[in-house]
């Protein structure tokens, strides 16, 4: 396995140099943008829904960055209510040119999460968890006007801490943290974004 590490690093460096060389020929003025988002998340087989905001800065037609915050609420088998608050940063890469006002992208990011789980009715029994996160996924943007666009993305988020679990044993409601070192869940996000500076001579998210 180790013998593949150095060639892989060399290939990655060559790819970055190629992208940066192309990027220097496509440089545009910086674009500051603000977005509102709605998110659907799948955790332990249960679907949750939430909302959030983000602010970002696009420096070129190849790279984009943003800071985000989300809150997702999930009902666990009608016995527990889970709330996840995510915050962090994302780096986005546009591998190809837009096609018919559609711009695909690749994203990767990091962040922090605060999760709570409590009884769905009584609300008295609860557990909480802090965790660091990383995420990766794919998406696309659709330009609506010169300053307004929509974006849809699908991504996995990994939480580096034990997971919260809720169940009923002998008619007793229990919430506990399992012994897993990390957990993961799927997120699908739809956002509407507005460019605050300049106009979109290319796409941003």
Tell me if the pTM is above 0.95. Answer: no
Confidence of residue 2 (pLDDT cuts 50, 70, 90): very low
Q: How far apart are CA 113 and CA 89, in angstroms?
A: 12
Q: In the chain, what percentage of residues exceed pLDDT 90?
A: 43
Write out pLDDT tens, residues 181-200. 677 889 999 999 999 986 55
- Contact residues for 60 (Cβ-Cβ < 8 A; gap 6+): 23, 26, 27, 28
Q: How far apart are CA 116 and CA 129, in angstroms?
A: 6
Enumerate the domain spans of the chain: 29-195
Tell me which architecture the domain covering 29-195 has in CATH: Beta Barrel (2.40)
Write out pLDDT tens, residues 91-108. 999 998 888 889 999 999
- Contact residues for 69 (Cβ-Cβ < 8 A; gap 6+): 52, 53, 54, 85, 86, 87
């Amino acid at each position: 396995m180790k013998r593949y590490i150095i060639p892989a690093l060399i290939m990655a460096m060559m790819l970055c140099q190629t992208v940066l060389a192309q990027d220097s020929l496509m440089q545009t003025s910086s674009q500051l943008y603000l977005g509102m988002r709605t998110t659907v998340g799948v955790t332990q087989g249960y679907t949750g829904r939430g909302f959030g905001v983000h602010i970002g800065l696009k420096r070129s037609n190849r790279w984009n960055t943003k800071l985000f915050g989300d809150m997702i609420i999930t009902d666990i088998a009608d016995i527990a209510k889970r709330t996840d608050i995510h915050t962090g940063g994302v780096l986005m890469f546009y591998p190809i040119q837009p096609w018919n006002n559609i711009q695909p992208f690749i994203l990767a990011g990091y962040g922090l999460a605060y999760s709570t789980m409590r009884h769905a009715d009584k609300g008295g029994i609860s557990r909480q968890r802090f965790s660091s996160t990383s995420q990766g996924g794919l998406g696309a943007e659709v330009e609506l006007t010169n300053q307004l666009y929509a974006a849809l993305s699908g991504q996995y988020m990994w939480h580096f801490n034990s997971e919260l679990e809720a169940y009923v044993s002998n008619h007793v409601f229990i919430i506990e943290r399992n012994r897993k070192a990390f957990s993961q869940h799927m997120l699908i996000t739809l956002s509407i974004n507005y460019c605050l500076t300049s106009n979109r001579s290319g796409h941003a998210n």
